[in-house]
A = this chain, B = another copy of it.
Amino acid sequence: VSGEWRAVTVAGVGLIGGSFALALRQAGFRGKIIGVSSPATIRAALERGAIDEALPLAEAAAQSDVIYLAQPIQRILETLSVIDSAIRPGTLITDAGSTKRAIVERARQTIQRGCFVGGHPMAGKEARGVEAADANLFRTRPYVLTASDPELEHWIEKIGARLVKLDAAEHDRLVALVSHLPQLLSTALASLIADSPEAARVAGPAAADLTRLARSPYDIWRDIFSTNAEEIDHAIADAIARLQTLRENLLSEPDMQATFARAAQAASQLRQNTI
């Protein structure tokens, strides 16, 4: 299937968009990669060698086979509302947003002349921006697609990611559990520790582990919360219920033993899949 894409537009050339461009190139993509971003980001992306040229969105879209939306979720939603008239018929539009239901729904309403496939590469790192982009960022990581596209699937496998197909609702339910809830547990713990300043004096690796995510800036979470509120609400409620059970069973050895064993097994299995 390889070789059918001749030009790819990456809209939002930050960590994810820049890494996707570098990964495509490393995997043997020979077509043109056009960047759409702010002037400062474009300068950095050209310097980093992530893109071949930069154009305004409408001009880039008019000459591309693929539009890869790697913007913040709200910007993806806005782009989906205006892109359809700018593309050639049959253009593939895909995205890298962290929630999928709102985005897939918007695309269903607005994309008529192109094909939309929702995407979510489960990869990232603390540093942001195209300066931190890395051709190997997606290697061994899950890459969720909400629909099929042979050429897109071909490149996702070539860049070393593990293709996972899920519908948008199932994706959003699962990431509420494995990504959004962990963030909120970490934020909750760190905010409790903030109330006990002496706690830092005795904090060891356990507290460091559990509060690493709490350093994430709110600006990347705002859109996730607003587009996945219902599933996150369920996940928090489930976590509260589970903590309440642990609290009630704290001195009940057989119950705690069973819960610890089950949790340890799930934690080990998770690491076999993800690390």
Contact = CB atoms under 8 A, between A and B. Distances in A.
Contacts of A263: 186-188, 190-191, 194, 211, 214
A124 interface: yes
- The size bracket of the interface on A is 35 or more
A217 interface: yes
A263 to B, nearest CB: 4
Given A211-B266, A211-B270, A175 B202 contact: yes
Contacts of A257: 218
A177 B225 CA distance: 27
Nearest to A186: B210
A221 B236 CA distance: 25
B256 A218 contact: yes
A40 interface: no
B200 A269 contact: yes
Interface string A157-172: 0000000101000110
User: How many copies of this kind of chain does the complex include?
Assistant: 2
A154 interface: no
Given A191-B242, A270-B193, A216 B179 contact: no
Contact of A196 (B174, B189, B201, B260): B174
Contact of A251 (B142, B226, B239): B226
A189 to B, nearest CB: 6
Contact of A215 (B189, B217, B267, B274): B267
Contacts of A273: 200-201, 203
Interface in A102-149: 120, 122-124, 141-142, 144
A191 B181 CA distance: 13
A147 B257 CA distance: 34
A243 B193 CA distance: 14
B274 A200 contact: yes
A259 interface: yes
Contacts of A208: 270-271, 274-275
Contact of A202 (B174, B188, B202, B213): B174
Given A211-B270, A221-B256, A246-B188, A193 B206 contact: no
Contact of A204 (B179, B189, B192, B211): B179
Nearest to A252: B225
5 contacts: A174-B199, A208-B271, A211-B271, A214-B263, A233-B247
